[in-house]
């Protein structure tokens, strides 16, 4: 299982993404992103998963764009 951080363009998108993942039984934590990840709203979701593709599919189907997915 790998740990990931997903960056978003706004705090509200990050919260909405967290809600959509929770609906699909995927736990995540909303936290400040390190500035070296990229210049975004500053917040992202941290999660552990075996299938980041499933997470990305949920976000895409919910029309939530991310600014980047990073392996921790």
Q: So where are the chain's domains?
A: 2-71
Distance CA 59, CA 71 (A): 17
pLDDT above 70 as % of the chain: 93
pLDDT bin (cut points 50, 70, 90) of residue 38 is: low
Q: What pTM was estimated for this model as a whole?
A: 0.89
Q: Please determine, for residue 64, whether its predicted confidence score (pLDDT) is greater than 60.
A: yes
Architecture of the domain spanning 2-71: 2-Layer Sandwich (3.30)
Going from the C-alpha of 60 to that of each of 14, 17, 20, 34, 36, the distances in angstroms are: 13, 10, 11, 24, 25
């Amino acid at each position: 299982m790998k740990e990931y951080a997903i960056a978003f363009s706004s705090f509200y998108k990050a919260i909405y993404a967290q809600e959509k993942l929770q609906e699909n039984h995927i736990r995540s934590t909303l936290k400040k992103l390190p500035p070296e990840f990229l210049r975004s709203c500053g917040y992202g979701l941290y999660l552990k998963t075996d299938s980041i593709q499933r997470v990305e599919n949920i976000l895409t189907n919910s029309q939530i764009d991310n600014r980047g997915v990073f392996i921790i």
